[in-house]
Structure 1
């Protein structure tokens, strides 16, 4: 087996356990999209193009509430600001790649893919001799999540109405992010971001319209970026 294929398959294998939380997460989005009045084809296309679980859930919830395009766009953008932290952390590992590779990996850079791939880069350094194929591991992580998200969205669109209400699959959203937190807390940037965001959330919980959560996201992001820059050799 070639080193490229072995890295890709290793990424798929290591990403697989997180899909237990992603499947009900994607089904929730599909169910919510139908409830918001989105055509099934558009809901599925959004999973392929937007490919942002938390933002997609918020978008369909705001659509159902009758929110306008501007507040929906701003909210989704703020939710995805955390990807700037992921990008800063990953940049040093992928900057040597051709542009087509960087664009593909940027598209696949999600919470779950980052949490698994960054550990690979941190625990296994760049080989002293021979080509570096770790980006194929990253690709395996991202592809596994992407495929699961598409299939779980389709399952929500097709079978969501038949899911018993007592199953309460809403648990998947916090469960998924708790699992990611345990992975990301292993590095200093993740620790700084989590600590600052947690303190800010508690300190500003009284702000109206849940603005405290938005501010906490931004402050946590800035803390993580600063910690990542300081930890560079």
Structure 2
């Protein structure tokens, strides 16, 4: 099997379990879009273009209360700030790619795809650092190929991310369509929205293994509770900012502690 296909299928396989939570989330977005007065074709088109559950739900809520384009755009943009941080942490793994690939992966970047891909990339980088200390993140790893005669290494790990992102994109489009077509027939007592927070809880358990991430998650959770009364999910935006600040502070303190310990030895 071609190495590109191996990486792509690995991404599809690893991302697949999370689709159990993505499916009802997309259905909710489709149902909410129709409830806000959007025609079915526009709801499906928005799902393909925006491709962000949180942003889509906020847009629908704000349209329902008659908000203008400027506040809707600003709020959706603030909700997408976290993707800038995702992009920064992925930069070393994609900077060697041509622009068309970087644009495609940026479009497919979601919470779920990022969580799965970054765990794999970090594990691969750690394995390479153990065998070849000082190797940059974008160099040879289990997802890269080369030959023994010194030819340039071909890093194919972006195919893994492509598999993760495309799997989620397809699920999102299908689930939105299901919500649009069949939403009115789904019994209210099914409470399918419970799967949305479960998906993000599953992601958290994967990502909060380091102290900085634990601090960020704890502060963000507290902030979300304290700011829950703010309209248009702005409390979520504030919680994200507080969590980022806590994570950055924790990282800085940990670095200072490590340097002080090394200096004393």
Task: Please give the TM-score of this superposition, normalised by the length of structure 2.
Answer: 0.79
Structure 2: distance between partners of 1:93 and 1:188: 23
How far the C-alpha of 1:122 sits from its partner, in A, is 0.7
Q: CA deviation at 1:199?
A: 3.8
Aligned 1:130-141 pairs, distance under 5 A: 130=146, 131-141=154-164
Query: Is the 8 Å Cα contact of residues 140 and 155 (structure 2) preserved in structure 1?
Result: yes
Return closer, same or farther for 1:200/1:112 CA change in 2, 3 Å cut-off. Answer: same
Quote the residue 2:46 is aligned against.
46
- Residue 82 of structure 1, CA deviation: 1.1
> How many residues were matched structurally?
230
CA displacement at 1:124 relative to structure 2: 1.3
Matched, 1:127 2:140: yes
Q: 2:178 aligns with which of 129, 132, 155?
A: 155
How is 1:3-42 mapped onto 2 (pairs within 5 angstroms)? 3-42=3-42
Structure 2 stretches lacking a partner, 5+ long: 126-138, 147-153, 256-265
Match of 1:116 in 2: 116
Aligned to 2:206: 183
CA contact (8 A) 2:27 2:175 kept: yes
CA contact (8 A) 2:23 2:171 kept: yes
- What does residue 194 of structure 1 align with? 217
Q: Please state whether the residue corresponding to 1:124 is helix, strand or coil.
A: helix
How far did 1:67 drift?
2.2
> For the Cα contact (< 8 Å) 2:227–2:239, is it kept in 1?
no
Give 2:244's aligned residue.
221
User: Following the alignment from structure 1 to structure 2, what is the Cα–Cα distance between the partners of residues 103 and 24?
Assistant: 28
Per the TM alignment, residue 65 of structure 1 is displaced from its structure 2 partner at its CA by 2.3
Bigger Rg, which one: 2
Aligned to 1:81: 81
Q: Quote the offset at 1:78 in angstroms.
A: 1.6
Moved more, 162-171 or 181-190: 181-190
Note the C-alpha offset of 1:221: 3.0
User: 1:207 & 1:152 partners in 2: Cα distance?
Assistant: 29
Unpaired runs of 5+ residues, structure 1, are: none
Residue by residue, what CA displacement relative to the aligned partner does 1:75-114 show, whole Å, maximum 9, x if unpaired?
A: 2112111111111111111111111111111111100000
1:6 is displaced (CA, Å) by 0.4
